[in-house]
Structure 1
Amino acid sequence: MLEQLCRRIEHVGELGAGATMKLAVNLPLLVYWQALGEALTICKPLNLPADRLIDILSDTAGAPTAMKGRGASIAKVLGGEPMGPTAFAVSAAKKDLATAVAFGQSIHATLPVTASALACFEQAEADGLGDADATAMPVHWTRKNNKGATS
């Protein structure tokens, strides 16, 4: 059944190892959504249209594959359109980040970037975005940093 549902199947260890791998797979993307918000924030003085800015950032070596599918919807939300359907909620992403930090601690590893992203996701959830898609993070961060800012 998995062969029909999955593009790739990997055995990575004993029972529970798959959950660790899932955290490892999700972690860079979740950190990226926060970093994208920060990148958008420092681009504010450029006064570029959101769709152009996202297009430029999506076409770089640092952009994850997810930007191909989600970049256009992020640009639309930056332009004032409503957020689309939720595929992976901020609250679920926050849970994964918290689990990764806790797991890191359990194996005596520090994850400072993950911990910082977790704090940002916690703030977004506190700001009412728990049910929003995790791609709301860059928009939320940009808007949060542009309140009262002048360019």
Structure 2
Amino acid sequence: MLEQLCRRLDHVGPVGAGASVKLAINLPLLVYYQALGEAYALCRNIGYDPVALMDIFADSSGGPNILKMRGAAIGKVLGGEEPGPATFDVDSIRKDLRTMIEEAKSRGFDLPVVASALAVYDEASSAGLGSKDSSALAAYWPTRTGA
């Protein structure tokens, strides 16, 4: 059944190893959403269409695969549209980020970039975005008070 549901199946180790790999895969993506919001904040003043801007980002060296798949949707959110139904909401992301920090701490190191991203996701959740799709975070940062 998993072979029908998943694009790829890999056995990565003993029980718990899969969860560690899942967190590791999500880490750059979740931090990227915050970085994308900051990047957009740097150029939102130019008035360029956010969907077109995400297309430029997606086609650049700074564009990860997620922009190829979701760039247009993120651009719409940046342009003020609602993100639509959540596929991975801000509060679920916060849970994953906290788990990443706890996992690292249990192994004797810290994750300062993750901790900084978590602070922003916490702020966004407090501002009412907790149940919103993760794409809403990229739009949150450049429009928040003080940005």
TM-score, normalised to structure 2, is 0.94
Deviation at 1:69, TM superposition (A): 1.9
Deviation at 1:45, TM superposition (A): 3.1
2:23·2:100 contact (CA, 8 Å) conserved in 1? Answer: yes
Deviation at 1:3, TM superposition (A): 1.3
Percent of residue pairs bearing the same amino acid type = 51
What letter is aligned with 1:102?
A: E
Q: Which residue of 2 aligns with 1:34?
A: 34
Distance 2:25 2:39 in 1: 22
Q: Which residue of 2 aligns with 1:133?
A: 133
Runs of 4+, deviation exceeding 6 Å: none
Q: Which residue of 2 aligns with 1:93?
A: 93
SS of the equivalent of 1:82 reads: coil
Q: Which moved more, 1:57-66 or 1:108-117?
A: 57-66
2:83·2:135 contact (CA, 8 Å) conserved in 1? Answer: no
Distance 2:116 2:81 in 1: 28
Q: Which residue of 1 aligns with 2:115?
A: 115
Give deviations 1:20-62, integer Å, cap 9, x for gaps.
1110011110000000000000112333221222111111122
2:101·2:115 contact (CA, 8 Å) conserved in 1? Answer: yes
Distance 1:124 1:14, change over 3 A: same
Q: Which residue of 1 aligns with 2:106?
A: 106
Deviation at 1:107, TM superposition (A): 0.4
SS of the equivalent of 1:34 reads: helix
What letter is aligned with 1:53?
A: L
Deviation at 1:74, TM superposition (A): 1.4
Point out where structure 1 has 5 or more consecutive residues left out of the alignment. Answer: none
Distance 1:94 1:3 in 2: 29
TM-score, normalised to structure 1, is 0.91
Distance 1:104 1:58 in 2: 30
1:73·1:84 contact (CA, 8 Å) conserved in 2? Answer: no
Point out where structure 2 has 5 or more consecutive residues left out of the alignment. Answer: none
Q: Which residue of 2 aligns with 1:70?
A: 70
Deviation at 1:148, TM superposition (A): 7.0
What letter is aligned with 1:106?
A: S
